[in-house]
Amino acid sequence: MSRAPIVVVGSSNTDLVIRSARLPRPGQTVLGGEFQIVPGGKGANQAVAAARAGALVSFVADIGRDDFGDAALRRFRDEGMDTRYIVRSKSTPSWVALILVDRRGENSISVAHSSNDELTAAHVRAAEPSIRTAACLLVQLEIPMPAVFAAIKLARQHNVPVLLNPAPARPLTRSLLRQVNILTPNETELAELTRRPVRTREAVHHSARMLIASGVKNVLVTCGPRGVCWCSNAGERWFAAPKVKAVDTVGAGDCVSGALAAALAEGAPLERAIPFAVIAASISVMRPGAQPSMPRRREILNALGNTLV
């Protein structure tokens, strides 16, 4: 199989997590916690998912000139990604989230200004040679909007399909939505985008149709264990998720977007690409962590029971 080229424009971060019996009060120290360093960022998660699903990924991001950035760059290269468009900020550190979690799952999170915030439209335009020849562009909203706009504009100029994961959710203009081939919100993001509750299947259909009316060609709503709802001008279709024992659902939506982009870039129609992505996510939730849990292509195809295209 020749690997299909895609470009991912997005964020990269590192979570420093301490799990302990309780959260400290102001001025208090709590001892005996369990410490983890967890790689994350929606852009990086989706890039890893796509690479493991079989795509040749060029990643456009801004990471710091620090140990966290060095470690991230090694991980991306180990995954076989093209890292020539990754910018190393000289003045701003990599994105690090400090996360405290107690035994009930309550958490306290602090995130500092980071190199992610400095990814510019000019950085994205430098990747035009790869965007021009890509089979798909995948982008999210954890980076500055000018970078998002620049990536989508370049993709449209070169007739490259755009897959936008609208996370974290923020208002999107009709002019932007009209340039998106596939939008992949989860239920919470769908509700925020449309300002309507989506507690039922019918409500999901109605809100997804609102986005179709705004100009999006396809809306794929990820609904956790209920699967994925595909909405287009042709109507709605649900793709069920297999029943699995979930260990960690963090990154499952990123897995869907990354695997979907890889499948579409390979030439699979949406009705084949969606089950591929759903199966990939169902494998990922049975493992801890986001990036470490992303499945390899062979695992996905074995679970799917057939070839992709």
Q: Report if residue 24 sits inside a domain.
A: no
Q: Report if residue 103 sits inside a domain.
A: no
Task: Out of 92-101, 208-217, 240-249, give the one with best mean pLDDT.
Answer: 208-217
Indicate which CATH number applies to the domain containing 258: 3.40.1190.20
Residues with catalytic annotation?
Answer: 254
- Supply the range of the domain harboring residue 234: 5-10+42-93+116-304
Q: Report if residue 120 sits inside a domain.
A: yes
149-168 residue pLDDT tens: 999 999 999 999 999 999 99
Residue identified by tokens 């995954």 is 79
Cα(192)–Cα(167) distance, integer angstroms: 10
Helix, strand or coil for residue 259?
helix
DSSP notation for 30-73: ----EEEEEEE-HHHHHHHHHHHTT-EEEEEEEEESSHHHHHHH
Task: List residues bridging with 248 in a β-sheet.
Answer: none
Helix, strand or coil for residue 175?
helix
Contact between 111 and 48 (Cβ < 8 Å): no
With a CB cutoff of 8 Å and minimum separation 6, the contacts of 245 are: 286
Kindly tell me if the per-residue pLDDT of 306 is higher than 80. no
Nearest to 125 by CA among 93, 149, 108, 103: 149
What total of structural domains would you count in the chain? 1
Q: Report if residue 35 sits inside a domain.
A: no
Q: Report if residue 294 sits inside a domain.
A: yes
Going across the sheet that includes 34-40, the strands are 34-40, 13-19, 95-101, 107-111
For the chain, what percent of residues have pLDDT higher than 70? 99
Task: Give this prediction's pTM.
Answer: 0.94
Q: Report if residue 126 sits inside a domain.
A: yes
Cα(3)–Cα(53) distance, integer angstroms: 10
Structure tokens given for 6: 């895609």
Q: Report if residue 225 sits inside a domain.
A: yes
E-assigned strands of 167-210?
A: 182-183
